[in-house]
Amino acid sequence: MIGRLSGILLEKTPPLVLVDCNGVGYECEVPMSTFYNLPAIGDKVVMLTHFVVREDAQLLYGFGSDQERATFRQLLKVNGIGAKSALSILSGLSIDELIQAVALQETAMLTRVPGVGKKTAERLLLELKDKFNVSGLTASHANQPKSATSDVLNALISLGYNEREAMAAVKLLPVEVTVADGIKQALKLLSK
């Protein structure tokens, strides 16, 4: 199994990159989060990889961090999620956003990823619920009534805030907040 590549970056065309490792060129598919953090062409690059052997292909997936690769592997364990879907999820959401969506059981965050429908999102939330280490503020919101957090988040999005801004504001709310107070407090936080 190929677990790591270290070499010179020869090409980068989303989502593919070509890495020269001592004269052998390895073509990898990478999520956009890794792609945006790649060095310039001709520079040295180190990537962790996941190697998939199928009947009709041998595919190599590259990642900029161990957390990305571990999340990719966790996504592959979900029924109905293949490598392409897992790569798409990691390209559409940051790992923190994915963990937060699982903690808050938010299908709306997952369905904005191309190729992830409502049923797939629900299956992801169900199967990943116990798999991620949800800590800090996200854990406190996991115990919060889902409807209050969800309603505050949906209200902020419908008011025109993007999902990242809205999620950041919801994370800062007290655990026992009501929907009305949550919206007021979140709007104050967002106006700063």
**Dihedral (CA of 135, 101, 87, 10) sign:** negative
Provide the pLDDT for residue 184: 87
Whole-number Å distance between alpha carbons of 25 and 40: 17
3 CA to centre of own chain: 21
pTM for the whole structure: 0.69
- Give 1's contacts (C-beta < 8 A, 6+ positions apart): 51
Residue 169 one-letter amino acid:
A
CB 34 within 8 A of CB 16: no
Whole-number Å distance between alpha carbons of 29 and 35: 9
Provide the pLDDT for residue 140: 42
Q: Which of 13, 25, 73 is nearest to 48 (CA)?
A: 73
Q: Which of 7, 164, 14 is nearest to 88 (CA)?
A: 14
**Dihedral (CA of 82, 87, 92, 97) sign:** positive
Show pLDDT as tens, one digit a residue, over the chain (192 residues).
899 999 999 999 989 999 999 999 999 999 998 999 999 999 999 999 999 998 999 999 999 999 999 999 999 999 889 999 999 999 988 888 898 888 888 888 888 888 889 999 999 998 988 877 554 434 444 444 455 777 788 788 878 888 778 888 888 888 778 888 888 888 888 887
Provide the pLDDT for residue 100: 85
- Give 169's contacts (C-beta < 8 A, 6+ positions apart): 156, 161, 186, 189, 190
Residue 176 one-letter amino acid:
E
Whole-number Å distance between alpha carbons of 127 and 79: 8
Q: For 135-192, CATH number?
A: 1.10.8
Provide the pLDDT for residue 138: 43
The fold for domain 4-64 equals OB fold (Dihydrolipoamide Acetyltransferase, E2P) (2.40.50)
Q: Is 136 left (phi over 0), alpha (psi -120 to 50) or beta?
A: left
Provide the pLDDT for residue 146: 52
Provide the pLDDT for residue 182: 85
Q: What residues does each domain of the chain span?
A: 4-64, 66-133, 135-192
Q: Which of 20, 18, 16 is nearest to 8 (CA)?
A: 20
Whole-number Å distance between alpha carbons of 158 and 182: 15
Q: For 66-133, CATH number?
A: 1.10.150.20
